[in-house]
């Protein structure tokens, strides 16, 4: 085979096409393609809304659940374009009487759910929608997230439970007060449903805390033993320096406690606070800084 022959294999052609482009150029190309796709969607949707209401509903509601698929997959840009041009989409429901906000809650897409804060008092109507089992929005937030990929965005049962709690608290701010203690057809309030759905996650968090507690105690005991040995060996010889020696020997223990105490407390909160979540007199579960990151 001649040395200057061109590699016509799929991998060779792919490398040939990709090599001239740096990572920056590829990212830029993706951004341009994404913008062009959104422009195309915007143009097509502008043509669709020229049709009558019945035709629009039949096009997006029955043959192809367009907006619900987008909400399930977290396609915020797509939904934003559609809603801006046709605001009535926020009232559309699927076969379960779920709007895009209900679907966003079930799939934990916070970007889509935040749209509800921009629709004013209309949200008071949307939050009244219930499914066939009498579940309101807060019941849906109490359910364990359906998609494992969304749940595993954060590793570890304790941190996953913390995220679930934050979702529950966020939805509770939106629903009407009577929905907080409202029972579904199975006789369960959102609070009871949350605890039932997250039992296994709480057990995993408890086991993690027990293991970490044993680890912290063992490391702390070793550090105390080291400090005591250090003090006993040198204090007899250098008794005039006993206080500085004790201070130096205590530094590893103090440093360990300072580094890990807050982590330990946060993990306990993440695991056990579900038991006091529905008691309004309790202190806030999370700091304002954490809530701002989620919101």
Task: State how many domains the chain has.
Answer: 2
d(CA 103, CA 245): 62
Q: Which residue has the higher pLDDT, 228 or 295?
A: 228
With bands split at pLDDT 50, 70 and 90, how would you rate the model's confidence at 272?
Answer: low
With bands split at pLDDT 50, 70 and 90, how would you rate the model's confidence at 162?
Answer: confident
Query: Could you list the residue range(s) of the whole structural domain that residue 181 is in?
Result: 25-198
For residue 81, being part of any structural domain is answered with yes
pLDDT tens-digit readout, 76-87: 888 888 788 778
Q: Are residues 207 and 177 in the same domain?
A: no
The pLDDT score that the predictor gives to residue 137 is: 95
For residue 256, being part of any structural domain is answered with yes
- The beta strands (E) that lie in the chain are given as none
CB 170 within 8 A of CB 294: yes
Q: Which residue has the higher pLDDT, 63 or 30?
A: 30
Does residue 171 carry a pLDDT above 90? yes
Q: Are residues 42 and 173 in the same domain?
A: yes
Q: Are residues 135 and 211 in the same domain?
A: no
The pLDDT score that the predictor gives to residue 179 is: 94
Mean pLDDT of 115-136: 91
Q: Are residues 237 and 188 in the same domain?
A: no
d(CA 276, CA 280): 8
d(CA 38, CA 40): 5
Q: Are residues 116 and 181 in the same domain?
A: yes
Mean pLDDT of 251-267: 69
Q: Are residues 169 and 212 in the same domain?
A: no
Q: What is the domain-level CATH number for residue 89?
A: 1.25.40.20
The pLDDT score that the predictor gives to residue 267 is: 60
Q: Are residues 208 and 187 in the same domain?
A: no
Nearest to 76 by CA among 39, 113, 42, 51: 113
List, as own/partner pairs, every contact residues 259-267 make where C-beta atoms lie below 8 angstroms and the sequence separation is at least 24, other chains included: 260/216, 264/212, 264/213, 264/216, 267/158, 267/205, 267/208, 267/209, 267/212
Q: Which residue has the higher pLDDT, 27 or 126?
A: 126
Q: Are residues 172 and 102 in the same domain?
A: yes
How far from 129 is each of 160, 179, 253, CA to CA, in Å?
27, 11, 55
Does this model's pTM top 0.75? My answer is no
What average pLDDT is seen over the chain?
Answer: 72
For residue 19, being part of any structural domain is answered with no
Residue 198 contacts by C-beta under 8 Å, 6 or more apart in sequence?
144, 161, 164, 274
The pLDDT score that the predictor gives to residue 18 is: 45
Q: Are residues 165 and 225 in the same domain?
A: no
Q: Cα angle vertex 187, ends 186, 188, to 5°?
A: 95
Q: Are residues 107 and 234 in the same domain?
A: no
For residue 18, being part of any structural domain is answered with no
pLDDT tens-digit readout, 96-120: 999 999 999 999 888 889 889 888 8
């Amino acid at each position: 085979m001649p040395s200057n022959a061109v590699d016509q294999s799929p991998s060779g052609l792919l490398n040939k096409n990709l090599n001239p482009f740096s990572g920056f150029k590829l990212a830029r190309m993706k951004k341009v393609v994404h913008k062009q796709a959104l422009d195309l969607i915007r143009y097509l949707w502008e043509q669709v809304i020229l049709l009558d209401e019945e035709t629009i509903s039949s096009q997006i509601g029955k043959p192809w659940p367009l907006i619900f698929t987008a909400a399930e997959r977290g396609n915020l840009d797509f939904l934003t374009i559609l809603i801006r041009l046709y605001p009535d989409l926020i009232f559309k429901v699927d076969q379960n009487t779920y709007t895009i906000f209900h679907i966003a809650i079930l799939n934990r897409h916070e970007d889509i759910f935040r749209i509800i804060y921009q629709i004013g008092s209309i949200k008071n109507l949307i939050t009244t929608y219930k499914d066939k089992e009498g579940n309101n929005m807060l019941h849906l937030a109490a359910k364990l997230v359906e998609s494992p990929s969304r749940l595993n965005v954060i590793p570890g049962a304790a941190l996953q439970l913390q995220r679930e709690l934050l979702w529950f608290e966020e939805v509770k701010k939106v629903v009407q007060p009577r929905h907080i203690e409202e029972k579904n057809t199975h006789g369960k309030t959102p609070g009871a449903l949350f605890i039932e759905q997250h039992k296994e996650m709480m057990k995993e968090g408890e086991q993690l805390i027990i293991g970490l507690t044993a680890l912290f105690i063992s490391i702390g005991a070793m550090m105390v033993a080291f400090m005591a040995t250090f003090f006993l060996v040198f204090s007899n010889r250098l008794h005039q320096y006993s206080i500085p020696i004790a201070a130096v020997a205590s530094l590893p223990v103090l440093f360990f406690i300072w580094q890990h105490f807050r982590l330990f407390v946060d993990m306990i909160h993440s695991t056990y606070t579900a038991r006091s979540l529905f008691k309004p007199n309790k202190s806030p579960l999370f700091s304002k800084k954490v809530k701002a990151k989620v919101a």
